[in-house]
Amino acid sequence: MWYNERISKDKNTTSPKFSLCCGDGKVKLPLLQSPPKYLERLLFDDNASDSKNYQCNIRTYNMMFAFTSVGIKLDKSINETRGPPTIRIQGQPCHRIGSLLPMPGKQPKFAQLYVFDIQNEVENRINTMSQHAVIQPEIVSTLSQMLDEHNVHAKSFRMARDRLADSQLDNVKLRLIVGREKDCRTYNLPNVSEVAALIVGDFDADSRRDIIVETQNGELQRIHELHSNGYIPDILHRSTSSSRKRKRNRLTMREWFAYRLQSRSNEAQTLLHSRKLFQQSIVEAYTMVESERLSYIRNNQKKLRVDKYCSLQTSLDAGSSKGSSKGKRVILPSTFVGSPRYMDQLYFDGMAICNHVGFPNLFITLTCNSNWPEIRRVLAPLNLKATDRPDVISRIFILKYEQMLFDLTKKHLLGKVVAYNKYSSSDDIDQIISAEIPSHENDPELYTLVQNHMVHGPCEIMQSKSPYSNGYPIYRRRNDGRTISKNGVIIDNRYTIPYNAKFPRKYQAHINIEWCNQNTSIKYLFKYINKGYDRVTAVVVYDANGALENPITQNDEIKEYVDCRYISPCEATWRIFYFPIHARKPVVERLHFHLPRQHNVLYEDDDDILSKPNISDSKFLAWMNSNKCFSEGRNLTYSQFVSKFVYNQKARSWNLRKKGNTIGRLIWVPPTTGELFYLRIMLTTCKGPTLFEDIRTVENVLYLTYREACFAMGFLQDDREFVEAIKEAKDWGTTNYLRKLFVLMLFTGAITKPEELWNQTWNSLAEDIAYHYKKTTLNTWHRMTIICLCVPSDTTVSEWRKGVRNDHNFVSACHRARHLWMTKGRRMTIICLCVPSDTIVSEWRKDSKSVRMTIICLRMSSGSPPLDDKRAQNDHNLSPHVIGSAASG
């Protein structure tokens, strides 16, 4: 371990404590022994020709001797750029094993190569590889002999081979045992009988993780994640001085892998020197950790249930208050890192901080430099490259990040980090951000740093795949004649990345600093940097009898959270080491609210729910009760209340805050929730209520509904609540979500003037139209129109086409249309088309009586009016026009 990785960094001590490697002493595992001499020479001898061949093709040689096939999808696109080669996988990897013998006419693969046709084993192994031309037969032969002598699994399959050859038995099975009864914290070499057993005849495995390899069949058997001879769930932590304070006393899989990724002077470095194979093993290790966590969430769903209090009372009136009688739902909670709830809640918290102190001024991006002296100092003696040790890269990068954060917040490298210390003029911005090449004569050190880290080629000219694009403020880029030669191209100030001179001098890395003053920086963090974070493979849910669960009562969020995951080695090590992927300050407390008797209740399957203590209490009710006791809170709204008070979850009460700075955030609810939405509007201004009736009281008048109270407060004049709902959602929602929300509002029928709502919000709804147009078309039309067709989701494509097939203008437009995107929701589907601006679509609704359809057109042109509308503003590139709605006949 390194000194800067100690737990207490604010203290300089001669006996530091560490948690990265061993969890402050609670993890102790047997050390890995040295590999066989031949394998050690292949890994560590960098001069021999066979060693170089093995190190270069290590994954191929490993696959050649693997007992199982690896179900893994490699994302090869990541290596098409200029970056260093790396391994990134897509989806959920799995290992499968076949039978002892191949099917007739099939070539042996994987474990079958240890049993079938051993006279031609070397040739058979080489022929299974697509890159057999680079394989050296001498290495294959020697590795085969080495495994026969030292690997207990190889000995097991050889034992099965001998039994098949010496007898006429045709029903021999090999049982691979999942675990051993010995203490896994003490090292002892396993023998063959501990990991495998031969079975003659029929046999039923008593462990779901044991592997029974049949003699000959065409099926593949999936290997359980916990079958390895290393980690098992029952390994206990070591007893230390802090053992009594622990909530958990068993080793987790993440801790097991974190321990194995450390470099120790008294332990073999076989895994750490395996280069690309080490990358693959790290990625697969993290996916195993993720799979175990998801399995825990799924297996504990029956214990954790939630429902509204009033619904539970209704169940009591019906004669049932047991949790097991209520409908079930599989929840992927916000505590699972990467889940939709996790990302949404963090984004809302970020926006709450911005609403409290203002939007950030500086957007700083730190990129790791693989040539940092610290990385070279570690890897140079080992003759390894930075890509060979993603664990070292992650550990050094987190230290650099923590140091930069300390310099910004404690040493005030760019000024004090406070809300009122903002830069108000362009001259102030030029003092901290530079986009110009420094003088080579006056500052040669900075000139070299900018040349190496802060310059990129002209976009779409020299490097068509460059990820940069415009969209940031225009910085000062004077034509001072200074240039830099990079990759044979002369580059001037136009292609200098904005930077602050203090950063490259100290950190010797690409540190981009941008000026920003709007919410797009927060959206960028959560929609693009963390977009499409880990997804898991869908799992079909069955009941206890093996039948498929009723799809009406089974809402499986884990199954919905499918897509695919992309995991790279650095990300895998970052997560295995438990490094943070998000941080914020100050703390944001999420405030839930509810209508009377409609608060959520958490319960288990076998609970007698209504007899539980504090079943009728909630945080929201406790707030109103606190207003009866504390005069300090009667002048505060619900969101302001948390700045002076802290909630005690166990006692279900609020107490005066003694320290800390906390921001309150009311959870967002859409307008379609009715009274709950209007309750939220009232809570933004209501201070010190003690009853629900107090919230509905305006100027000493008690109104029957919260909507009437909102009208009395003046919140709902001229559809104001809908306009404000879209404007508020714009701060955190995508344009795709805003369009769904807009159409949903139209279907409610509660809007008095839809045209007015459209005129006040269309800019937010069409924010990404130009981007999609440039991305999906060849830009051959000088004038074009975006047409958004909003149709009910229960309308099939054939019905939709049938309803408009007689409209010649519509058919002609669809023939020339370029499909941009389709968003299908539960109640409506939005179809966006791009058509030439000379297309006449205003008559579509006349011949489309059989299909309900709302048509919204957006013209993108430089000087033409929108469709059939001569009142268009010619000085706008994007202008809206609502053609209308066609109702079903």
- Indicate if the pLDDT at residue 570 is higher than 60: yes
Longest CA pairwise span in the chain (Å) = 98
- Residue 147 or 81, more confident: 147
Mean pLDDT of 182-196: 47
Question: What's the pLDDT band for 568 if we cut at 50, 70, 90?
Answer: confident
Distances in Å between the alpha carbon of 342 and those of 103, 422, 588, 741? 48, 31, 14, 22
What are the pLDDT digits (tens) for 364-411?
A: 999 999 999 999 999 999 999 999 999 999 999 999 999 999 999 888
- Indicate if the pLDDT at residue 32 is higher than 70: yes
Mean pLDDT of 186-201: 46
Antiparallel, parallel or unpaired: β 221-222 and 818-824 = unpaired
Question: What's the pLDDT band for 441 if we cut at 50, 70, 90?
Answer: very high
Mean pLDDT of 199-215: 47
Is 756 inside a domain boundary? no
Among 205-219, 236-250, 335-349, which is the least confidently predicted range?
205-219
Question: For residues 102 and 116, is the Cβ–Cβ distance under 8 A?
Answer: yes
Is 354 inside a domain boundary? no
Question: What's the pLDDT band for 860 if we cut at 50, 70, 90?
Answer: very low
Cα–Cα nearest to 351, from 137, 666, 14: 666
Query: Tell me, what's the pLDDT at 305?
Result: 55
- Residue 61 or 776, more confident: 61
Query: Tell me, what's the pLDDT at 425?
Result: 74
Structural domain for 181, as ranges: 37-222
Question: What's the pLDDT band for 640 if we cut at 50, 70, 90?
Answer: very high
Is 264 inside a domain boundary? no
Domain stop point among 166, 190, 222: 222
Question: For residues 361 and 423, is the Cβ–Cβ distance under 8 A?
Answer: yes
The percentage of the chain sitting over the pLDDT mark of 70, rounded to a whole number, equals 61
Tell me the β-bridge partners of 882.
Answer: 856
Cα–Cα nearest to 439, from 484, 475, 476, 474: 484
Looking up tokens 């769930």, which residue turns up? Answer: 233
Give the number of C-alpha atoms closer than 13 A to the C-alpha of residue 223, restricted to the C-beta side: 22
Is 586 inside a domain boundary? no
Whether 62 and 210 share a structural domain: yes
Question: For residues 626 and 633, is the Cβ–Cβ distance under 8 A?
Answer: yes
Query: Tell me, what's the pLDDT at 739?
Result: 82
Distances in Å between the alpha carbon of 156 and those of 111, 149, 767? 10, 11, 63
Query: Tell me, what's the pLDDT at 626?
Result: 94
What are the pLDDT digits (tens) for 755-802?
A: 778 888 877 887 776 666 555 554 444 455 555 655 555 554 444 444
Is 183 inside a domain boundary? yes
What are the pLDDT digits (tens) for 166-180?
A: 665 566 666 665 554
Tokens encoding 167: 């007898």
Question: For residues 816 and 835, is the Cβ–Cβ distance under 8 A?
Answer: yes
3-state secondary structure of 824: strand
Query: Tell me, what's the pLDDT at 606?
Result: 60
What are the pLDDT digits (tens) for 357-373?
A: 888 888 899 999 999 99
What are the pLDDT digits (tens) for 789-840?
A: 555 555 544 444 444 444 444 444 444 444 444 555 555 565 665 555 554 4
Burial of 140 (0-12, 13-18, 19+ CB in 10 A): buried
- Indicate if the pLDDT at residue 251 is higher than 80: yes
Question: What's the pLDDT band for 859 if we cut at 50, 70, 90?
Answer: very low
Which of 200-214, 599-613, 697-711, 736-750 tops mean pLDDT?
697-711
Query: Tell me, what's the pLDDT at 607?
Result: 62
Is 862 inside a domain boundary? yes
Domain stop point among 183, 199, 222: 222
Among 32-36, 156-160, 233-237, 535-539, which is the least confidently predicted range?
535-539
Cα–Cα nearest to 438, from 501, 372, 494: 501
**Total number of domains constituting the chain:** 3
- Indicate if the pLDDT at residue 133 is higher than 80: yes
Domain stop point among 471, 502, 517: 517
Looking up tokens 């003029």, which residue turns up? Answer: 425
Residue 415 DSSP code: B
Mean pLDDT of 192-205: 44
- For every residue of 90-107, DSSP letters joined together read EEEEEEEE--SSPPTTPP
Is 397 inside a domain boundary? yes
Is 728 inside a domain boundary? no
- Indicate if the pLDDT at residue 355 is higher than 50: yes
Tell me the β-bridge partners of 836.
Answer: 784
Query: Tell me, what's the pLDDT at 692?
Result: 94
pTM: 0.73
Q: What is the mean pLDDT of the chain?
A: 73
CB atoms within 10 A of CB 358: 12
> What is the spatial distance between Cα 628 and Cα 622, in angstroms, rounded to a whole number?
10
Mean pLDDT of 577-590: 89
